[in-house]
Amino acid sequence: MKLRYLQILVAVVERRGISRASEHLNVSQPAVSAAIRSLEEELGVTLFERANASKGVRPNGQAMKLYHHARDILRRCDEAKKSVMQPDKRLPKASLGILHTLAPSDIARAHSRLVKTARQWRWSVREGGAVWLGEALDRRQIDLAWGTVDDESPCSRVLWREPFVAILSKDHPIAKSGRTSIRINDLHNERIILRGRCELPRDALQDAGLAIRPAARADRDELALALAAQGLGFVIAPRSLASLEVAVLPVDDLDLVRSIGLRWRKDTSPELVEAAIAALAV
């Protein structure tokens, strides 16, 4: 007696019909009917009463006896399989390092896509700064690094580029002026909230012509944005970090952009790299 036939019998009984059983099992109705006929021929009994097209089939007493045995057999088979296969240990591990200044919403969506579309690996993620990502990749603490990328190379891919923008309180006069962009000179008399985890080189903002009059320094981006939302100053940050609670204005003469991409080692599996790129680039 084939296990598949027992699975089909259970489905027909529980779904109360051949058509619903075929949908549940994702097999054709003729295949379900053929399996039931094979069971009846093997056992030498009739298992279902054939009614008209609207009522379908109804299990008789013999079918219900077999149904209870079949449920028990299938449960024991499943338990035996799980005890031997240990699915968590069958899948190879894949570790993704994530730059801690990426937007949390982007990280959550990407991780969800990885888990759904790259199921041949057991994924874990670790967050850190740009320096840590490079070191962790070299030390094999992570398999892939998702963060800032200078240029594309045989072991890196740029996924997108985004500009640095000015982020201010919605009640700030500049934000309420109706302008769609500003220039560096518009910020000269304003105080800046410095991001402790900024991806830019140390003097990049000064070199760009911004007058640095600090109002605060925040290691957490969410704190920097919260301070800006309260009107304590402006923040220069990647556009993706901005929330609905603040005003975002491009700075026309501030030519600062970050390139976000993926890096890996030369010996990293090409299949792993392509799976990650497909999930992260969406």
In DSSP terms, 99 is beta-bridged to 128
**The listed CATH number (3.40.1400.10, 3.20.20.70, 1.20.1560.10, 1.10.10.10) that belongs to domain 3-87:** 1.10.10.10
- In 3D space, the residue among 72, 10, 8, 67 whose CA is nearest the CA of residue 38 turns out to be 8
* pLDDT digits 0-9 by tens, 228-256: 999 999 999 999 999 888 999 999 999 99
> Which pLDDT band holds residue 87 (cuts at 50, 70, 90)?
low
Determine contact, residues 232/215, Cβ cutoff 8 Å.
yes
* pLDDT digits 0-9 by tens, 217-230: 999 999 999 999 99
The verdict on pTM exceeding 0.75 is no
Q: What is the pLDDT of residue 85?
A: 63
Determine contact, residues 12/36, Cβ cutoff 8 Å.
yes
> Which pLDDT band holds residue 282 (cuts at 50, 70, 90)?
low
Q: In 129-269, which ranges are E strands?
A: 144-148, 156-169, 192-195, 214-218, 235-238, 246-249, 257-264
> Which pLDDT band holds residue 260 (cuts at 50, 70, 90)?
very high
CATH topology (fold) of 90-159+259-280:
D-Maltodextrin-Binding Protein; domain 2 (3.40.190)
Pairing outcome for strands 144-148 and 257-264? antiparallel
User: And the tokens for 1?
Assistant: 């007696």
Q: In 86-178, which ranges are E strands?
A: 93-99, 122-128, 144-148, 156-169
Q: 163-255 has which CATH code? A: 3.40.190.10
Which of 14-44 are b and which e, b meaning 16 or more Cβ less than 10 Å from the residue's Cβ? ebebbebbbeebeeeeeebbebbeebeeeee
Q: What is each CA distance from 214 to 94, 198, 210, 236, in whole angstroms?
A: 41, 14, 11, 12
Q: For the chain, give every domain's residue range.
A: 3-87, 90-159+259-280, 163-255
Pairing outcome for strands 246-249 and 156-169? antiparallel
Q: Which residues contact 184 (CB under 8 A, 6 or more apart)?
A: 208, 209, 210, 251, 253, 254
